[in-house]
A and B are shown apart, each in its own frame.
Chain A
Amino acid sequence: MNDSGLTEQERAIYQWQMWVPDFGESGQAKLKGSSVLVSRVGGVGGLVAYQLAAAGIGKLVVAHAGNVKPSDLNRQLLMTHAQIGKPRIESIERRLKELNPRLEVIAVGENVSPANAEDLVSQVDLVVDCAPLFPERFAMNDACVRQAKAMFECAMYELEAQITTLVPGKTPCLRCLYPEEPPTWTREFPVFGAVSGTVACMAAMETIKVIAGLGEPLLGKLLKFDLRDMSFHTLKISRRMDCGVCGADRRNDDRQY
């Protein structure tokens, strides 16, 4: 152990990323001291969790229900063939610990809902939203706004993906961006693992940046890209003052949270 609180083994494992000059040992120590909720932990969340585990995050809370299905395996890289028919969360926990046995993993075998979002978010410093359904995303957003915690919002469809970093009071929240959920969204969607993995790696890097105070996170900016023609757009987004969740003016808001 040295001044930064890193062990000799940790210094050896993270040596190459500590060569990033404005990250260094102090950035590594911040990662070690941080906790992140990732849900779900499939095509996007699995890669977010894996990259954060590799980078030396101190604690991950991972939430994902159900058993591994054959159709998970094209993208949910924490699931293994041998685990088909058995709980996804077991596969997730095992794979994360195989890579980083020093990592503290809180494995929750359920998806995020309004019933558990507040509690799950309260266990961590930051949240990465990787849910395949809007009610789950909104539940995490609402809890993050109430608890003033940053949420990394990443989502994809087909060869297209979007990512932004949401900081309560500073940037829009998810409800500012989308006050309503699209009625046509379905639980199953076209996806290559390389697309969900691309946006996942970006989200992991955003998380590392915010924890370590590195670079410029996507604050008030939505990065939208389409790998079909490799077009990237960085779009300015702003808060809605009448937002029912984070808005300054909630007097006329009759929704329950």
Chain B
Amino acid sequence: MSVRLRLPANMRSLASDQSEIAIDGTTVGECLQNLAQQFPELESRLLDAEGNLQGFINVFVDNVSIRELRQLRTPVSEGSEVLIVAALAGG
């Protein structure tokens, strides 16, 4: 299963300047783990020490927050768009 994972602008430098990455996984959690394996510096930006989503990150699968679904256990399907939204404060 391959999804389109979209990174926020402030994380792209940690992922070879890519904004969109094809990632394998059957759940959002798996996709994030696979992403972190490829780009280790992203791990602490996304997940805390216990493997939970950081409190300053929201993840959406096809525009629905995973908080409304099954959190990191939310299943993804082929071609799903996984959007990572970071807290921003530029004013």
Contact = CB atoms under 8 A, between A and B. Distances in A.
Interface of A: 40, 42-45, 129-134, 137, 154-162, 177-182, 184-185, 189, 191, 196, 222, 224, 226, 228-229, 233-238, 240
Smallest CB-CB A-B distances: 6 pairs? A180-B55, A182-B56, A130-B91, A155-B88, A179-B55, A158-B9
**Chain B: number of interface residues, binned into ranges:** 20 to 34
B65 interface: yes
Contact of B87 (A178, A229, A235, A238): A178
A44 B87 contact: no
B89 A131 contact: yes
Given A134-B89, A196-B91, A224-B83, 20 more contacts: A43-B90, A45-B91, A132-B89, A134-B87, A156-B91, A157-B9, A157-B86, A159-B9, A160-B10, A161-B90, A180-B54, A182-B86, A222-B85, A226-B9, A228-B19, A233-B60, A233-B63, A235-B60, A236-B64, A238-B68
Given A236-B64, A238-B68, A156 B87 contact: no
Interface string B1-40: 0000000111000000001000000000000000000000
A162 B85 contact: yes
Contacts of B85: 162, 222, 224, 235
B58 interface: yes
7 contacts: A40-B91, A162-B88, A178-B55, A184-B45, A222-B58, A222-B85, A233-B60
B91 A155 contact: yes
B67 interface: yes
A109 B35 CA distance: 45
Given A131-B89, A156-B88, A238-B68, A181 B9 contact: no
B83 A132 contact: no
Contacts of A134: 87, 89
B89 A155 contact: yes
Contacts of A237: 58, 65
A177 B90 contact: no
A117 B69 CA distance: 35
Contacts of A42: 91
Contact of A236 (B68, B83, B91): B68
Interface in B36-68: 45, 54-56, 58, 60, 63-65, 67-68
B59 to A, nearest CB: 10
A49 to B, nearest CB: 12
A1 B68 CA distance: 52
A161 B83 contact: no
B87 A177 contact: yes
B8 A160 contact: yes
B86 to A, nearest CB: 7
Contacts of B58: 177, 222, 235, 237
